[in-house]
């Protein structure tokens, strides 16, 4: 949605997703690319498919640029793949942060969005590491004493955490029960941390659900179109149920601008005098 107003949007992807599981059983059916493959062959094909899926997703969203940070996928939490010296999880923190700082100084963003700081619901090591280097890079990109060979210092103005709010989860769960008779969101989901009291920003995006769902479907190895977790409701139904995306303002260099759960923003650029163009 911001791209339509002339804002330059950039995605930084830290890994190639090589170690991801095949979560779409349809791709194993006869005539499909993963049919009949053993584990080794499946992994090899996954490594070539994931970049194609990512490129398609980026095109649907409409990012102006995709940057790959260059690390290997670390696999799920507690997997032996976490110990691969080439994986993101094993990357030295300052070195990985430096790569991101260089991109920040190149692209000069005013706003950065990253994973949130509560990983109890889904402790994927790469998501944790993305969060860790993001907060460090935000602080260091504007300090010329850090990474002097990474370009001229540039200070982003705001950093947000993306969050799947309890309000959204509850609304979707209740709609699935009402409209479909069942919901995949069981008790385990509702025992996960509730961060609604930390939400600072709520943006209506119902006119862009097509991009959200389309970009997700582009990652065909990761999602099953028949899975109600992702696609139990149509875009039109979701627009009626919960037309928002929720965010937490985690860091800000904007003076006299302190949104909270009682005083919500409706724009990631709120408080910034001139939007990034």
CA 106 to the chain's CA centroid? 21
Q: Give strand pairing partners of 265.
A: 201
Name the pTM for this structure: 0.94
- Find all residues with CB under 8 Å of 156, minimum gap 6, and list them: 104, 109, 110, 111, 112, 138, 141, 142, 253
DSSP one-letter string for the chain: --GGGT---EEEEEE--TT-----GGGGSTTSTTTT--HHHHHHHHHHHHHHHHHHHHHHHT-SEEEEEEEBP--STT-GGGG-TTBGGGS-HHHHHHHHHHHHHHH--SEEEE--S--SS---HHHHHHHHHHHHHHHHTT-TTS-TTS-S----SEEEEEE--HHHHHHHHHHHHHHHS--S--HHHHTS---GGG--EEEE-GGGHHHHHHHHHH-TTT--TT-HHHHSS-HHHHHHH--EEEEEEEEE--TT---BTTB-BS-TTTT-SS---
**Cα-atom radius of gyration of the chain, to the nearest Å?**
20
CB 129 within 8 A of CB 73: no
Name every residue whose Cβ is closer than 8 Å to that of residue 203 and which is 6 or more positions away in sequence.
Answer: 244, 245, 247, 266, 267, 268
> Quick one: which of 91, 93, 90, 70 has its CA closest to 82?
90
The tens-digit pLDDT sequence of the chain (277 residues) is 899 899 999 999 999 999 989 999 999 999 999 999 999 999 999 999 999 999 999 999 999 999 999 999 999 898 999 999 999 999 999 999 999 999 999 999 999 999 999 988 888 999 999 999 999 999 999 999 999 999 999 999 999 999 999 999 999 999 999 999 999 999 989 998 899 999 999 999 999 999 999 999 999 999 998 889 999 999 999 999 999 999 999 999 999 898 888 899 999 999 996 444 4
- What integer pLDDT is reported at residue 276 of this predicted model? 41
Task: Give the architecture (CATH level 2) of 3-252.
Answer: 3-Layer(aba) Sandwich (3.40)
Give residues with Cβ within 8 angstroms of 247, minimum separation 6. Answer: 113, 160, 161, 162, 163, 199, 200, 201, 202, 203, 268
pLDDT digits (tens, 9 = 90+) for 105-132: 999 999 999 999 998 888 899 999 999 9
pLDDT at 1 (0 to 100): 81
pLDDT given for residue 273 in this prediction: 65
What pLDDT score was predicted for residue 277?
40
């Amino acid at each position: 949605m911001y791209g339509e107003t002339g804002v330059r949007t950039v995605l930084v992807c830290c890994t190639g997703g090589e170690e991801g599981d095949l979560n779409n059983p349809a791709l194993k059916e006869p005539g499909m690319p993963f049919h009949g493959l053993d584990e080794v062959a499946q992994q090899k094909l996954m490594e070539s498919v994931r970049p194609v899926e990512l490129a398609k997703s980026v095109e649907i969203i409409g990012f102006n640029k995709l940057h790959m940070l260059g690390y290997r996928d670390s696999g799920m939490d507690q997997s032996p793949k976490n110990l691969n010296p080439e994986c993101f999880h094993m990357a030295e923190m300052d070195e990985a942060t430096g790569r991101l700082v260089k991109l920040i100084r190149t692209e000069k963003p005013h706003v950065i969005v990253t994973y949130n700081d509560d990983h109890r619901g889904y402790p994927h090591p790469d998501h944790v590491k993305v969060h860790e280097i993001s907060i460090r890079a935000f602080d260091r990109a504007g300090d010329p004493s850090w990474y002097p060979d990474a370009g001229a210092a540039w200070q982003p103005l705001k950093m947000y955490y993306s969050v799947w709010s309890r309000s959204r989860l509850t609304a979707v769960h209740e709609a699935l029960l009402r409209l479909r008779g069942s919901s995949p969101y069981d008790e385990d989901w509702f025992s996960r941390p509730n961060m609604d009291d930390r939400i600072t920003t709520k943006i209506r995006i119902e006119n862009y659900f097509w991009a959200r769902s389309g970009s997700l479907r582009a990652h065909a190895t990761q999602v099953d179109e028949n899975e109600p977790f992702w696609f139990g409701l149509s875009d039109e139904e979701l627009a009626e149920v919960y037309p928002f995306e929720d965010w937490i303002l985690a860091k800000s260099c904007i003076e006299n601008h302190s949104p909270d759960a009682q005083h919500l923003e409706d724009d990631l650029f709120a408080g910034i005098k001139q939007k990034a163009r």
